[in-house]
A and B are shown apart, each in its own frame.
Chain A
Amino acid sequence: MNEEDKKKYSENKKRYFEKAENIKTQDIDFTTISSESVNPLYAPDDIHDLDYNADLGFPGEYPYTRGVYPNMYRGRFWTMRQFAGFGSAGDTNGRYHYLLDHGQTGLSVAFDMPTIMGYDSDHERSLGEVGKCGVAIDSLRDMEILFDEIDLSKITTSMTINAPASILLSFYLAAGEKKGIGFHEMGGTIQNDILKEYIAQKSWIFPPEPSMRIITDVLEFCTRNVPKWNTISISGYHIREAGSTAAQELAFTLADGFAYVEAGIKAGLDVDDFAPRLSFFFNAHLDFFEEIAKYRAARIIWAKRMKEKYGAKKNKSLLLRFHTQTAGCSLTAQQPENNIVRTAFQGLSAVLGGTQSLHTNSMDETLALPSEKAVRIALRTQQIIAHETGVVNTIDPLAGSYFIEAKTREMKEKAEDYFQKIDRFGGVIKAIEKGFFQKEISKAAYEYQKLVESRKKIIVGLNKFAMENEEIDIPILKINPEVEKNQREAIAGVREERDNDKVKRELERLRKAAENTDNLVPVILDCARCYCTEGEIISELKEIFGEYQEPIFL
């Protein structure tokens, strides 16, 4: 702007704000869903010091604010990956074929609680839980059934599994191997993010130290043997679902990411060998622009730290690639069809934020696991975003928006403040032990609940526009009540058929490896190949590593 334009701009702005201030404003809450205040208007001077080259750059170029690939969705769309699993491996295999037949482009496995917690289906702690909130997988046998008639060299699979990630990965690799597919041909993701388990999702088995060892063993093994595998999916999703704000989700997730990088370096790995296979997983909540700013801020923070602090040299080490899932906690059991609309807006924010992969929630998820109809609509929602809205035509279309750029910077600054706080605790694990994250999250969750109950925050159909005596008339998925019994019988069959002498020898080898510092993954893989069950492998490891005791914070 020349002097005359600047003068004109200042005058116009002054006049505008004087006028705007005197106009009646509605008495409603104008903060974001995270209770952050936003201005009624953003203008050029809100981003006057934005440096295009340093703060934005071009897509696929440092610092990757505008996206990790040069051509983004013109190259290919995000992977449409619906998280699915229920009942037996056979039931879930049927759902996978259904989703693939309807145009899904990647698979994502939801395991049941016993599988997540390392118990076989016939363990007493599994009673009532088998196949309920995901699929029951006890051994390689179940994994073979789960991927029956699916070409594991053509599709990528994400597995939401953490404490026992090394075991389920081994089952998967062994299942592929039996189909004649080499490890180097298989691509996918294991969540393998134990830090956020202690922080938010609470599905842990071992204490932090051995857990971090298993994770670095996986990093090392996959770097050498399964080069297309994403070894950790560093997850903010569960942090947000547990009640955090957007800034907390961003900060805690990236802090976890840096902790894994430091653990890998400490284990003697070269950062450029493992960092390219780290990926991220964020939530897409309802506050549209706050979410988009969050994704953009995440990319720039990661790229800068990886380069400047951890000395990464390869460009691929700097890329924050991420999967997104729409916010389950934003959905209502009341008027559940409205959830389709919420999910569509959330999915759109993820796409405008440059996601690599997306799960859109089904409308019925506050009631049960998704029915076929509900999941089909959820998948169609993504397909409509991709094929009908036109948002894929232009890369990072919101860049340069005064609001989006100001908000991106603000998210980044808030995250940096949290990093300093975490550093003062002595790092992520120390902060977990002190309950820092847990308390921050439950405080935010409770504050939000109070805002909803006092109707400062509106949820349509719940605390406004509610319907009296509402009848829910959408189909609900029912889990086969026989699944637990069938699974117990199946596991007994596996134990009878396999070579039990070999099983004993391999489990003995595993115990020795755990006592020493050998990489555990090749040994677990051998256990998988001879049909050791997940519970047997975990039991051996528990004896050496012990179990995590939760510090209780309200």
Chain B
Amino acid sequence: MDKKIRVLIAKPGLDGHDRGAKVVANALKDAGMEVIYTGLHQTPGMIAESAVQEDVDVIGLSILSGAHMTMFPKVLELLKEKGADDIMVFGGGIIPAEDMEKLEAEGVAKIFGPGTNTHDIIDFLKAEFGEKKK
């Protein structure tokens, strides 16, 4: 039987908009994944630490405050420092297309913009982890 995909949904920075993060967390849970939600106002350090401690497969970052170009790379960098760069990072929020491309080039697996169907996120994660978790 498949082992469940473990996901950390996190809100980095000072942004308090948590509607999207919670909707995604609930949808992934309903799709049978194990979901841990950090709550708000997390530093990249807190997120990397939680990810390692919780032994997750993947981190989902949600940012709507415009701080994405600082927060995403910082989380990736800290994971690397901890030797945990096998943990995949994806994200969502108010992020212009140009920045999405840059972040994906820097190692963020995928950015989902406004209007994303949660099934697309579920399918994406299942495709990424389907094989590995057998």
Residues of A within 8 A of B (CB): 113-114, 116-117, 119, 125-129, 132-133, 197, 201-203, 241-243, 329, 332-334, 366-369, 442, 445-446, 449, 453, 459, 462-463, 472, 476, 479, 550, 552, 554
- Chain A residues with CB below 8 A from B17, complex form: 202, 241-242
Q: For the side of the interface on B, what is the size category?
A: 35 or more
**A23 and B27 alpha carbons, distance in the complex (Å):** 39
- Chain A residues with CB below 8 A from B70, complex form: 127-129
Known: A117-B14, A128-B13, A202-B18. A449 touches B118 (CB 8 A): yes
Q: Which of B26, B97, B119 is in CB contact (< 8 Å) with A446?
A: B26
Q: Which of A133, A366, A445, A552 is in CB contact (< 8 Å) with B37?
A: A552
Q: Is the CB of A332 within 8 A of B115?
A: yes
Known: A129-B66, A453-B118; 8 extra A-B contacts, CB below 8 A, are: A113-B13, A126-B14, A128-B69, A203-B16, A334-B115, A366-B94, A442-B26, A449-B23
Does B39 make an interface contact (CB < 8 A)? yes
- Chain B residues with CB below 8 A from A126, complex form: 14
Residues of B within 8 A of A (CB): 13-19, 22-23, 25-27, 29, 37, 39-41, 43, 64-67, 69-71, 74, 94, 96-98, 113-115, 117-119
Q: Is the CB of B113 within 8 A of A129?
A: no
Chain A, interface SS category: loop
Known: A116-B14, A129-B14, A554-B25. A243 touches B19 (CB 8 A): yes
Closest to B70 in A: A128
Min CB distance, B30 to chain A, in Å?
9
Known: A117-B14, A449-B118. A241 touches B19 (CB 8 A): yes
Q: Is the CB of A128 within 8 A of B19?
A: no
Q: Is the CB of A333 within 8 A of B115?
A: yes
- Chain A residues with CB below 8 A from B117, complex form: 453, 463
**A366 and B97 alpha carbons, distance in the complex (Å):** 11
Q: Which of A119, A241, A367, A554 is in CB contact (< 8 Å) with B14?
A: A119
Q: Is the CB of B115 within 8 A of A129?
A: no
Known: A113-B65, A368-B94, A479-B66. A554 touches B26 (CB 8 A): yes
- Chain B residues with CB below 8 A from A463, complex form: 117
Closest to A552 in B: B39
Min CB distance, B21 to chain A, in Å?
9
| Top-10 shortest CB links A-B | A128-B70, A202-B16, A132-B66, A113-B14, A128-B67, A333-B114, A552-B39, A366-B114, A129-B67, A117-B14
Q: Is the CB of B96 within 8 A of A476?
A: yes
Q: Is the CB of B94 within 8 A of A132?
A: no
Q: Is the CB of B96 within 8 A of A368?
A: yes
Most buried by B among A128, A241, A334, A462: A128
- Chain A residues with CB below 8 A from B22, complex form: 442, 445-446, 554
**A113 and B39 alpha carbons, distance in the complex (Å):** 17
- Chain B residues with CB below 8 A from A366, complex form: 94, 113-115
Q: Is the CB of A442 within 8 A of B19?
A: yes
**A242 and B41 alpha carbons, distance in the complex (Å):** 17
Q: Is the CB of A333 within 8 A of B66?
A: no
- Chain B residues with CB below 8 A from A197, complex form: 16
Closest to B37 in A: A554
Q: Which of B13, B71, B96 is in CB contact (< 8 Å) with A367?
A: B96
Q: Is the CB of B115 within 8 A of A462?
A: yes
Known: A446-B23, A446-B26. A472 touches B97 (CB 8 A): yes
Q: Is the CB of B114 within 8 A of A332?
A: yes
- Chain A residues with CB below 8 A from B97, complex form: 472
- Chain B residues with CB below 8 A from A459, complex form: 115
**A200 and B15 alpha carbons, distance in the complex (Å):** 12
